[in-house]
A = this chain, B = another copy of it.
Amino acid sequence: MDNERIENLGEKELIVRLSKYMPDNQINDDCASLSINHENLLINTDLMVENTHFNNQTTIAKDLGWKSVATNYSDLISSGCKNFIGIQIGLIINPKTRWDWIRELYEGIYEALNYYGGVILGGDCSRGEANAISITAIGSQGELKLRRYSCRPEEIILTTGIHGLSKLGYLLKTNQIEKNNDFLSEDIIKQSLKAFQRPKPQKKFIQNIIKTRSSSDKKVIGCTDSSDGFYQAINDLAITSNCKAIIDYKKVPKYKNWPSGESWDNYYFYGGEDYELIFSLPQDWANRFLNLDKTSCEIGKFVKGPPSVEIINSPNILNGDSFSHF
């Protein structure tokens, strides 16, 4: 079995095998962390590869630039980053690529850096067959640590926003769903394309968490982002925190006029490339947070029990596969 091809191993087995070479905090969390002279750094690498994450049909270079910073920063935010320091860029370019494409890629990168903070520190550029961009982002750990392992039974599960839009944007972009149809409003089409092309991880999330904390509250919060899908995020929290998540389908916020039905629920729960935060707080803190951040929602709670996700009050059977990088 050792000499199996990766395509036959499957993503889960690959992750298990690769994890033997990784430190624990990187396997079980969104970022690596590093202590330098009492300053804790958060470090994250994300790849965007042509024909895996993007192609000329789905993604213009400027959006790719934005997205490749945003996906990295989402992981930093979901670990409690207070300050974005900068990025290293590894760029693989097919020689037939036109200069304009690279210029626009960097313009998109700068738009994201201007919005979130941080600078380009350095990088490398090389010829290759397919274009790809590898970004390593560095930020400072804030006073509150956000870690997957820190959800506790009886805590309220919250989401900073709505899911499924990015998947719908992707399906529209690739013509797997027609734009001219009876079941999607102009507004939902616009928002879905925006969610897919310009995901916007919550910049103010950490501030809001800190603002609503009382002095007796804990200092490590259970949290992850939903880049691999809404369901996957909850499942990751449940497994790493060793408790059971009960999600109330009726509380899960849908975009206005989001269609109902099994396939739409599956886009919602398993679509991926959403960049919301999924996290849990004690009831009092959750109330204070929901009072401040009106776009966030309570969606369920953690209880004692085997690490798992139970969805109650769902009209449909949810059986989608998680977002796959492989």
Which of A28-49 touch B at CB < 8 Å? Answer: 31-32, 34, 36-39, 41, 43-47, 49
CB <8 Å contact, A125 and B7: no
Interface string of A1-19 (1 = CB under 8 A from B): 1111111010000110110
CB <8 Å contact, B119 and A6: no
Q: Which residues of chain B have C-beta atoms less than 8 A from A50's C-beta?
A: 128-129
A26 to B98 alpha-carbon distance, docked (Å): 24
Q: Which residues of chain B have C-beta atoms less than 8 A from A103's C-beta?
A: 2, 17
Interface string of A209-248 (1 = CB under 8 A from B): 0000000000000000000000000000000000000000
CB <8 Å contact, A99 and B43: no
User: Could you jot down 21 A-B contacts, CB within 8 Å?
Assistant: A3-B98, A5-B97, A6-B96, A17-B103, A21-B109, A22-B122, A22-B123, A26-B121, A26-B123, A32-B88, A34-B86, A34-B121, A36-B41, A37-B39, A44-B88, A45-B88, A45-B90, A45-B124, A46-B90, A47-B125, A127-B326
A17 to B21 alpha-carbon distance, docked (Å): 37
CB <8 Å contact, B6 and A106: no
Interface string of A143-187 (1 = CB under 8 A from B): 000000000000000000000000000000000000000000000
Among listed A130-138, A196-204, A264-272, interface-contacting one: A130-138
A23 within 8 A of B: yes
CB <8 Å contact, A5 and B95: yes
CB <8 Å contact, A136 and B5: no
Also in contact, A96 and B34, with CB within 8 A (given A88-B136, A130-B128): no
CB <8 Å contact, B126 and A129: no
A188 within 8 A of B: no
Greatest chain B CB density within 10 A among A22, A38, A90 is at A90
A136 to B21 alpha-carbon distance, docked (Å): 16
A325 to B127 alpha-carbon distance, docked (Å): 7
Q: Which residues of chain B have C-beta atoms less than 8 A from A124's C-beta?
A: 45-47, 134
Q: CB within 8 A of A120: which of B22, B31, B129?
A: B22
CB <8 Å contact, A125 and B325: yes
Shortest CB–CB separation between residue A24 and chain B, in angstroms?
Answer: 11
CB <8 Å contact, B49 and A9: no
Q: CB within 8 A of A100: which of B2, B43, B125, B130?
A: B2
When C-beta atoms are compared, the residue in chain B nearest to A93 turns out to be B6
Which of A44-58 touch B at CB < 8 Å? Answer: 44-47, 49-53
A85 within 8 A of B: yes
A92 within 8 A of B: yes
Q: Which residues of chain B have C-beta atoms less than 8 A from A93's C-beta?
A: 6
A102 to B17 alpha-carbon distance, docked (Å): 10
CB <8 Å contact, B45 and A2: no
